[in-house]
């Protein structure tokens, strides 16, 4: 049998890869180091907050079936290469995305009678850029693009049935992540992909953590995209599953409107303050019954009052069934009516930043400013009360 393990030149990478190959429970958790010369037709696709994404053909391809005697591979397989910025001197923390996926695979198998999980992206392993020596994570390439592309390309052609069907798949993916006590922490439309069957897939576990680790984490740096971040994160609380639910509510809004939340705003301290004070994107009409109500619950400022993933699944399923049953009744399914309030926009505000980035400095400034304003309002209110009291005294004397 052709040996699976190939050294990477990094002790940290090699130890992790060996561990996954020895202690696997399903083939998806068995990762490889893949020599860079295994890739051809490498093409730059996009740049994120912490990485660059390339499309490539993997000559040997991933293992589709394996045992102790042979590995059957899918040759000339199209993959995405996620090149992590400044990752030459890789640390254990730099492997977080793959470690989360591997731990997810272990926990899923341990807690389920069946091995298959749905609507979460797979990972194949690691390669290294021979020039920069930066780490590149190898994962499937999704030809149908992400949720942003899906929405903007044919927004008015997508029926509510199809939207709800994909929303069900997204919440199943999140439900599966939460079921093994992992918090995604960066759920947004750019991290939701579509495979060849047009099924939604949650990807990019780069800053995900176990729920326990997330609440115990002493690292004060917060990463993300402001419109998708729950207000409690801005106010110093740790990420919990309910924080992902808030992000899911924003995804619901995107499916409803065809626009990204707060596309017309600068993503700055003022927006953070307004979100903490209750600002949410505008509600539009013409949605299936129960949709807006559920979305608003996902946005609730109190994380304890947001529904969990299982409850959301049940309710979205019910909304979908009602919409589907309209085909067999005299009622018409919900129509998408063109208006100025919905539909893709040609250009976002230049200050609207839809890349995950470090935000702790901006958050601290926003919370300090919000606190100062609150104190000023209290002082002003107190002075008004005192002035009113003095005026009344003068009136009494007169």
Q: What is the mean pLDDT of residues 307-333?
A: 88
* Span 11-140 CATH architecture: 2-Layer Sandwich (3.30)
Instruction: Give yes or no for residue 229 having a pLDDT over 50.
Output: yes
**CA distance linking residue 174 with residue 191, whole number of Å:** 12
Identify whether the C-beta of residue 59 lies closer than 8 Å to the C-beta of residue 40.
yes
- Looking at domain 147-372, its CATH class is mainly alpha
pLDDT band at 385 (very low <50, low <70, confident <90, very high): low
In the chain, ranges of CATH 1.10.510.10 domains? 147-372
The tens digit of pLDDT for each residue in 261-311 reads: 999 999 999 999 999 999 999 998 789 999 999 999 999 999 999 999 999
**CA distance linking residue 121 with residue 205, whole number of Å:** 9
- The reported pLDDT for the residue numbered 106 is 78
Instruction: Give yes or no for residue 2 having a pLDDT over 90.
Output: no
Q: What is the mean pLDDT of residues 307-327?
A: 93
Q: What is the mean pLDDT of residues 214-223?
A: 67
- Residues linked to residue 54 through DSSP beta bridges, in sequence order: 44, 81
What does each C-alpha distance from 254 to 79, 247, 293, 343 come to in angstroms?
27, 11, 15, 10
Give the pTM: 0.88
In the chain, ranges of CATH 3.30.200.20 domains? 11-140
- The reported pLDDT for the residue numbered 363 is 97
Instruction: Say if strands 32-33 and 125-128 run parallel, antiparallel, or are unpaired.
Output: parallel
């Amino acid at each position: 049998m052709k040996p699976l393990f190939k050294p990477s030149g990094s002790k940290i990478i090699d130890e992790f890869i060996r561990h996954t190959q020895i202690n696997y429970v399903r083939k998806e958790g068995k990762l490889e180091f893949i020599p860079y010369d295994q890739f051809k037709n490498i093409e730059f696709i996009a740049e994120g907050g912490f990485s660059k994404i390339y499309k490539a053909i993997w000559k040997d391809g991933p293992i589709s079936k394996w045992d102790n005697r042979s590995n059957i591979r899918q040759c000339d397989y199209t993959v995405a290469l996620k090149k992590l910025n400044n990752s030459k001197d890789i640390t254990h923390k730099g492997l977080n995305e793959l470690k989360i996926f591997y731990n997810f695979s272990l926990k899923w198998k341990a807690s389920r009678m069946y091995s298959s999980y749905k609507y979460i992206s797979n990972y194949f392993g690691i390669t290294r850029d021979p020039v920069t020596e930066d780490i590149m994570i190898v994962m499937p390439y999704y030809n149908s693009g992400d949720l942003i592309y899906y929405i903007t390309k044919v927004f008015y052609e997508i029926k509510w049935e199809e939207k709800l069907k994909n929303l069900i798949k997204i919440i199943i993916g999140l439900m599966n992540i939460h079921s093994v006590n992992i918090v995604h922490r960066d759920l947004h439309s750019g991290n939701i992909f579509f495979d060849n069957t047009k099924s939604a897939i949650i990807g990019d576990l780069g800053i995900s953590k176990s729920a326990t680790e997330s609440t115990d984490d002493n690292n004060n740096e917060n990463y993300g995209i402001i419109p998708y971040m729950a207000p409690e994160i801005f106010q110093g609380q740790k990420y919990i599953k309910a924080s992902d639910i808030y992000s899911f509510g924003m995804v619901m809004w995107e499916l409803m409107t065809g626009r990204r939340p707060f596309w017309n705003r600068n993503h700055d301290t003022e927006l953070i303050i307004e979100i903490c004070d209750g600002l949410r994107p505008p509600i539009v009409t013409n949605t299936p019954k129960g949709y807006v109500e559920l979305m608003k619950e996902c946005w609730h400022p109190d994380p304890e009052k947001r529904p969990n993933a299982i409850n959301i699944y049940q309710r979205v399923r019910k909304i979908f069934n009602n919409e589907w049953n309209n085909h067999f009744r005299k009622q018409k399914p919900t129509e998408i009516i063109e208006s100025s309030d919905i539909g893709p926009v040609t250009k976002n505000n230049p200050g609207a930043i839809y890349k995950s980035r470090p935000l702790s400095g901006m958050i601290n400034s926003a919370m300090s400013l919000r606190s100062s304003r609150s104190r000023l309002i209290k002082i002003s209110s107190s002075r008004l009360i005192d002035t009113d009291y003095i005026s009344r005294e003068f009136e009494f004397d007169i």
